Amino acid sequence: MSVPRQILRNQKSEAQDQKLPPGWEKNPSSWSERLPIVGLALFGFAIATYLALYQWGLFATVWEPFFGDGTLTILNSRISHILPIPDAALGAFGYILDAAMGVVGGRARWRTMPWIVIVFGLAVGPFGIVSVMLVIFQPVLFDAWCTLCLASAFISVLMIGPAADEILARLQYLQREHHQGRSLWRAFWGLQQ
Amino acid sequence: MMWAQVINAFLGTWLMASPAFFNYQGTGRTNDLIIGPVAATFAIIAVWEVTRVVGKVNVMLGVWLVVAPWVLGYGNVTPVINDSIVGVTLIAMAMTPVETRGKFGGGWSSLWRTVEH
């Protein structure tokens, strides 16, 4: 109980003095910066969920406008089933996590919610890397392409750049707190120093 | 520059399509299908100003594309020409200046500075 209350106090006490991170021209935590990422994540979630439903056997076939049996080859490949759950289901989970973490927190969250920004960055970054690896595996290992898998990978890469500015502002904030001799631990969780 | 990164994103995508378009197999195909998505990824990330510097990775990938035919031995002239042209263009686009200083609180390099800023 004490932690959320402290976060609230912290937000209120500092909300007025710092609208922008020092040396920034725009606020990386503003809704206009974050909502496009949330939109992309939801779009990716829809695609990945559709593919996962096929992999779970709820659909008999998958929409594939360009590459013939390519999508079916990829979605039934051994790489797609290397984990206990199909890879598209993992992708859907990643996207909904990205969307949720894009929504949480206010316009000052680069300063008040450091941890969520860091988790957001960690989710977006490795997620993009895995997507690109899967894009490479499609033609190299299975000699097939999958249109919706490519679209999903494109979306996950597209989210990295827009998510990065908030992470940079966050890291700079933690660095300033550290230089001023404050506790990085408390700054990381958005607690009052 | 943003458009330079957009061009590199298309060049990476073109590498992915090249083996099917020109119908070549072997190491040239594999190399293009690996380097293509990676180059496109770094270029797409670099479209945004705050992560523009990531596009510099394509200088290295471009150099690799130029030397790869001789290192790997493609045994087919089409991918050699294709990779050389794409590689040189990739390098030229990736070397366009990055000017983000002063806009993002000193940018990523500020994180390695030990003094107060």
pLDDT at A7 over 80: no
Q: What is the pLDDT of residues B67-79, one digit of tens each?
A: 999 999 988 899 9
Which amino acid belongs to residue B84?
A: S
- Return the residue of A nearest to B48 by Cα: A161
pLDDT at A17 over 50: no
Q: What is the pLDDT of residues A77-93, one digit of tens each?
A: 988 888 888 999 999 99
The model's confidence at residue A179, banded by pLDDT at 50, 70 and 90, is confident
- Return the residue of A nearest to B42 by Cα: A157
pLDDT at B110 over 90: no
Instruction: Report the half-sphere exposure of B112 (CA within 13 A, side-chain side).
Output: 3
Q: Which residue has the tokens 């020092």?
A: A22
CB pairs under 8 A between A and B: 71
Q: What is the pLDDT of residues A112-129, one digit of tens each?
A: 887 877 777 777 888 888
Which amino acid belongs to residue B56?
A: K
Q: Tell me the C-alpha to C-alpha distance, in Å, between residue A152 and each of A34, A50, A103.
A: 19, 11, 20
Bigger pLDDT: A1 vs A154: A154
The model's confidence at residue B117, banded by pLDDT at 50, 70 and 90, is very low
Q: Tell me the C-alpha to C-alpha distance, in Å, between residue A158 and each of A34, A38, A165, B99.
A: 13, 12, 14, 21
Q: Which fold has domain A43-188?
A: de novo design (two linked rop proteins) (1.20.1440)
pLDDT at A144 over 50: yes
Handedness of CA B70, B72, B73, B74 (dihedral sign): negative
For B27-54, the DSSP string reads HHHHHHHHHHHHHHHHHHHTTSGGGGGG
Question: What is d(CA B46, CA B4) in angstroms, rounded to the nearest whole number?
Answer: 10
Query: Which residues of chain A make contact with B51, given a CB cutoff of 8 A?
Result: 160-161, 164
Question: What is d(CA A74, CA B3) in angstroms, rounded to the nearest whole number?
Answer: 33
The first and second tokens of residue A17, run together, are 């003095």
Average the pLDDT over A26-46 and give the result: 94
pLDDT at A4 over 70: no
**Predicted pLDDT of residue B5:** 97
- Return the residue of B nearest to A150 by Cα: B37
**Predicted pLDDT of residue A19:** 80
Query: Which residues of chain A make contact with B41, given a CB cutoff of 8 A?
Result: 128, 132, 157
B115 Cβ contact list (under 8 Å, min separation 6): none
pLDDT at B62 over 60: yes
ipTM: 0.91
Q: What is the dihedral of CA B13, B19, B23, B29, to 10 degrees?
A: 180
The model's confidence at residue A8, banded by pLDDT at 50, 70 and 90, is low
Arithmetic mean of pLDDT over chain A = 86
Q: What percent of chain A is predicted at pLDDT more than 90?
A: 50
With CB atoms and an 8 Å threshold, state whether B104 touches A23. Answer: yes
Question: What is d(CA B107, CA A68) in angstroms, rounded to the nearest whole number?
Answer: 46
pLDDT at B92 over 80: yes
**Predicted pLDDT of residue A128:** 84
Q: Do A75 and A55 form a contact (C-beta atoms < 8 A)?
A: yes
B112 Cβ contact list (under 8 Å, min separation 6): none
Bigger pLDDT: B114 vs B66: B66
The model's confidence at residue B100, banded by pLDDT at 50, 70 and 90, is low
Q: Map residue A24 onto helix, strand or coil.
A: strand
A181 Cβ contact list (under 8 Å, min separation 6): none
Nearest partner of B51 among A124, A1, A109, A70, judged by Cα: A124
Q: Hey, is the C-beta of B26 within 8 angstroms of any chain A C-beta?
A: no
**Predicted pLDDT of residue A11:** 53
With CB atoms and an 8 Å threshold, state whether A140 touches B16. Answer: no
Q: Indicate left, alpha or beta for B23 from its phi (over 0: left) and psi (-120 to 50: alpha).
A: left
**Predicted pLDDT of residue A16:** 43
Locate the domains of chain B by residue range.
2-112
The model's confidence at residue A141, banded by pLDDT at 50, 70 and 90, is very high
Give A64's DSSP letter: -
